[in-house]
Amino acid sequence: MRSDQRHAVSRRALLAASALAGLTPAFSLAETGKKGGTLNTILSPEPPVLVLGVNNQGPTIIAASKIFQGLLRFSPKLDPLPGLAKSWELSEDRKTYTFHLESGVTFHDGSPFAADDVIFSVMKFNMELAPRARAILQMITDATAPDPLTVKLTLSAPFEPFLLMFDVSACVMVSKKIYEGTDYRNAPANQHPIGTGPFQFAEWQRGNFIRMTRYEKYWKPDEPYLDEIIYRIVPDSQSRSLALETGKVQLTAASDIEPFDIPRFRAKPNLTVSTAGWEYFSPLSWIEIIHRVKPLDDARVRQAISLTIDRDFLVQKLWFGLGKPATGPAASTTRYYDPALKPLPHDTRKAIALLDEAGLKPNAQGVRVTLKHLVLPYGEIWARLSEYLRASLKQVGIELVLETTDAGAWSQRVGAWDYETSINFLYQFGDPTLGVERSYVSSNIKKVTFTNTGGYSNPKVDELFARARAAGDPAERERAFFEVQAILVEEVPQIWLMELAFPTIYDKKLQNITEYGTGVQSNFDDVFFA
């Protein structure tokens, strides 16, 4: 049985495939463009490396997605679209996926991309490096290459969201020849990344810029359109705003521009401000809690911390209306979100009562407990958020001591459990099994960033996530996900804050920036200056 019929890159082929499947296209494919031009943009903060899998922080995804590719891409409605796989089929028992690869694809060193690279990337590279992917990829019982352009992956059981795993940000395709037999995290190739993407790595002046140039042997005829992309490293938020305002850069994204500057840029006639292009990720922010540190192992203390936070204030006053208050562990844009969840309350009196009940009495200075807080180093807005949290928690007798570091050290410390509280935001990837489960199941308590580093453990939560993962019936998955959301909201393993709506701001001459459900994290092969 064909799951998506045969997808092809061109508009005509997609329309034909959709008609055969009895479907309508999820969105309009990108407009054909003209060649030429340098795209100047910003990357903030500077990533530690440019190899996905080795590092999956937001800035790495934004830049490295131009160098590397996945088997699939996704529309704003999360419909799968061709990437390195031009078509795919699903067996009658819904366990075997057959991917047909594009022909004529080469890595930037000139070596051919083939089925063996896919199997190596899936079964070894991502299996070892990607904490979110590993749990899903372990479901693959057989990975074979019937021929150099065909890959068959057989699962132990049907898994409804399996195709969502094959975006570049979730399961990057790398060269077997380059990485096999190496220490992936410290491989020499990480210093000069080589992928199949439309742009190849040219140079990196640390603290200054990263430059990528058009890969002339890119497998799509006439693409990419841009000559090069330059990611400028600009640590100061005012300087980033000035660079956009003066035209030194033509594109900013994510946290490049502070929310308090967004109203000013919305008024600029030459710029577009859009929150589209984050549908696949649906980022959710929270206070990261280490459960190994007392009194954070007490649910009453975590509930009290949550009650001190005015999430409407965060959205309206700090983020200037960009986003919405979180209601629990899943973003409202994610599949199987429970719409019955209520807004998380703000009640300082109840917070004080819970802290009293937990036995945390204030000393002569009014301090009940002192906690360390690792500030997220992603721009001024996150520093302001930590300052707000310090002020809010002080009202109930919790002293928050702020610690600052850079992006690389932050990732290392969180991964090493070397923190008490911090701020984090994680991507949802369209389905709770892919983006939510990893933060709460006990099997994923690891010293790896973006796993269950906090150490939360509840056997019932583990059982419900396992049931949802194994269920082939969407109704059964929904029941399990609704139940687990209710438990998590009660136990508050993390302090959820906001569903983020990151702004992408770009010169109106730029085309096709947010056409896909991954926005600025897509490969930009069809981006051009009009």
Label residue 4 by pLDDT band (50, 70, 90): very low
On whether both 102 and 184 belong to a single domain, the answer is yes
Measured CA to CA, the distance from residue 425 to residue 429 in angstroms comes to 13
Task: Return the bridge partners of 289, or none.
Answer: 421
3-state secondary structure at position 491: helix
CATH number (domain holding residue 452):
3.10.105.10
Where helices occur in 310-368 by DSSP H, the ranges are: 311-313, 348-357
Of 175, 192, 209, which one is at a domain's C-terminal end?
192
Q: Is the pLDDT of residue 58 over 80?
A: yes
Give the amino acid at 425. Answer: F
CATH number (domain holding residue 115):
3.90.76.10
On whether both 358 and 245 belong to a single domain, the answer is no
pLDDT digits (tens, 9 = 90+) for 250-298: 999 998 999 999 999 999 999 999 999 999 999 999 999 999 999 999 9
In 3D space, the residue among 481, 491, 483 whose CA is nearest the CA of residue 433 turns out to be: 481
On whether both 519 and 488 belong to a single domain, the answer is no
Instruction: Tell me whether residue 184 is in a domain.
Output: yes
Which range of residues forms the domain containing residue 526? 31-48+59-67+197-279+502-530
Measured CA to CA, the distance from residue 314 to residue 324 in angstroms comes to 9
In 3D space, the residue among 374, 373, 385, 378 whose CA is nearest the CA of residue 315 turns out to be: 385
Measured CA to CA, the distance from residue 503 to residue 253 in angstroms comes to 6
On whether both 144 and 256 belong to a single domain, the answer is no
Bin 367: left if φ > 0, else alpha if -120 < ψ < 50, else beta: beta
Do strands 228-232 and 209-214 pair parallel, antiparallel, or not at all (unpaired)?
Answer: antiparallel
Determine the average pLDDT of the residues in 414-432: 95
Q: Is the pLDDT of residue 1 over 50?
A: no
- The predicted pLDDT at position 31 comes to 59
Measured CA to CA, the distance from residue 492 to residue 529 in angstroms comes to 47
Q: Which two tokens stand for residue 375?
A: 């500030």
Instruction: Tell me whether residue 23 is in a domain.
Output: no
- The predicted pLDDT at position 28 comes to 44
On whether both 349 and 209 belong to a single domain, the answer is no
Label residue 17 by pLDDT band (50, 70, 90): very low
CB atoms within 10 A of CB 357: 12
On whether both 212 and 126 belong to a single domain, the answer is no
On whether both 463 and 406 belong to a single domain, the answer is yes
Instruction: Tell me whether residue 54 is in a domain.
Output: no
Of 141, 176, 192, which one is at a domain's C-terminal end?
192
Label residue 408 by pLDDT band (50, 70, 90): confident
Half-sphere exposure of 456 (CA within 13 A, CB side): 24
- The predicted pLDDT at position 133 comes to 82
Determine the average pLDDT of the residues in 51-64: 94
Where helices occur in 247-379 by DSSP H, the ranges are: 262-266, 299-307, 311-313, 348-357
Instruction: Tell me whether residue 26 is in a domain.
Output: no
On whether both 160 and 209 belong to a single domain, the answer is no
Instruction: Tell me whether residue 13 is in a domain.
Output: no
Do strands 284-289 and 85-90 pair parallel, antiparallel, or not at all (unpaired)?
Answer: unpaired
Average pLDDT score over the chain: 92
Round to the nearest angstrom and report the end-to-end CA distance of the chain.
42
For residue 467, count CB atoms less than 10 angstroms from its CB and return exposed for 0-12, middle for 13-18, buried for 19 or more. Answer: middle
In 3D space, the residue among 223, 229, 94, 67 whose CA is nearest the CA of residue 158 turns out to be: 94
Instruction: Tell me whether residue 118 is in a domain.
Output: yes
On whether both 179 and 206 belong to a single domain, the answer is no
What distances in angstroms separate CA 107 from CA 117, 168, 179, 223, one per listed residue?
10, 15, 13, 15
Instruction: Tell me whether residue 156 is in a domain.
Output: yes
- The predicted pLDDT at position 407 comes to 87
E strands along 323-407, which residues? 324-325, 369-374, 398-403
Q: Is the pLDDT of residue 8 over 70?
A: no
Contact predicate 252/520, CB 8 Å: no
CB atoms within 10 A of CB 187: 15
pLDDT digits (tens, 9 = 90+) for 469-493: 988 889 999 999 999 999 999 999 9
On whether both 119 and 204 belong to a single domain, the answer is no
Measured CA to CA, the distance from residue 260 to residue 322 in angstroms comes to 10
pLDDT digits (tens, 9 = 90+) for 76-120: 999 999 999 999 999 999 999 999 999 999 999 999 999 999 999
Instruction: Tell me whether residue 19 is in a domain.
Output: no
- Give 432's contacts (C-beta < 8 A, 6+ positions apart): 330, 334, 335, 336, 465, 468, 481
- Name the helix (H) or strand (E) containing 504: strand 504-507
What distances in angstroms separate CA 162 from CA 139, 165, 426, one per listed residue?
10, 6, 19
Q: Which two tokens stand for residue 527?
A: 């981006």
Question: What's the structural domain count of the chain?
Answer: 3
On whether both 273 and 181 belong to a single domain, the answer is no
In 3D space, the residue among 196, 232, 227 whose CA is nearest the CA of residue 41 turns out to be: 232
- Give 39's contacts (C-beta < 8 A, 6+ positions apart): 226, 228, 229, 230, 250, 251, 510, 524, 527, 529
Of 176, 192, 208, which one is at a domain's C-terminal end?
192
On whether both 307 and 439 belong to a single domain, the answer is yes
